[in-house]
Amino acid sequence: MSTFWTAAVHLFLLAMPAHILAYYPFHGRIRGSRVKMLVLIVIIQVIEALLYGLQIARGGSGRETEFGFALVYMCVYFFCVKDDYFKLLFLYLFVMDYVIILRGFCAFLEARFFYSPDMVFYSFRSTLIYTAALAVTVPFMLYFFFHARKQVFDMDAPTFWRVAWMAPALTTGIVLIFTGDFTLEQVYSFKFLLARTLLLLCVFVVYFLLLKSLDSIRRQAVLAEQAAVQEHLLHLQKT
């Protein structure tokens, strides 16, 4: 198989599970037909995969294509899922971080265990390693994601959500800036692994702290409402 088709198929097989993960928890909040939404995503993904393969075949890294289409998928996500855009962005970044971390770990392991001077990270072997890692980790990811989704949608605080997404976005941006290129020299280094590991820790810390804060805010709101009701009842009894 040529470099073009190898790279294109690799990206398509890597990306489709991520789309399913992003939309599956919102199967009850989808606008319009789910079939039409799926067809739209597949068409866009095929176009991206072909452009990615073309860029790789011409000696590029393909990262420009991936970053550009990430914005396209984000817009489609906002259009297809019915809810507050900032809440969706907060959760979309969670899925994006999961994919970034998983791809980084898989690339590092492949470089360490199957090293060769001319190796690439879009081969059939790369796809198999990623698929195996996805199968092992996705149950934990879905559990955490479903929990996060419930917490997020139960909290109605528009002002909070306008800024909450910035914490994971800044962390993700820093990691992509410094470890975005999957060159063999970079992926093989422990600095690359450290960056992805720190991103993993930041993701769990940020989301854990924010979700705990949400739970605390919600409880305080309930207690305040109960106190107001009791005060009103006491006032009625006195009168």
For 183-216, the pLDDT digits (tens) are: 777 787 777 778 778 777 777 777 777 777 766 7
In a domain, 231, yes or no: no
Name the residue range of residue 85's domain.
Answer: 3-209
The candidate with the shortest Cα–Cα distance to 179, out of 231, 75, 234, 103, is 103
In a domain, 148, yes or no: yes
Tell me, yes or no, whether 24 lies in a domain. yes
Q: Tell whether 229 is covered by a domain.
A: no
Cβ proximity of 50 and 11 under 8 Å: no
Instruction: Give the total number of structural domains in the chain.
Output: 1
Q: What average pLDDT does the segment 166-181 reach?
A: 77
User: pLDDT-derived band of residue 169, with 50, 70 and 90 as boundaries?
Assistant: confident
pLDDT classification of 235: cutoffs 50, 70, 90: low
Is 22 within a domain? Answer: yes
Distance, in Å, from the CA atom of 162 to the CA atom of 147, rounded to the nearest integer, reads: 21
Tell me whether residue 226 is in a domain.
no
Q: How far is CA 111 from CA 105, 107, 108, in A?
A: 10, 6, 5
Give the span between the Cα atoms of 165 and 78, in whole angstroms.
14
Residue 89 within a domain: yes
The DSSP H or E segment spanning 235 is helix 190-238
Q: Is 224 domain-assigned?
A: no
Query: Is the pLDDT confidence value at 70 over 80?
Result: yes
Kindly report the pTM of this predicted structure: 0.80
* Cα distances (angstroms) measured from residue 53 to each of 11, 13, 61, 68, 195: 8, 13, 10, 15, 27
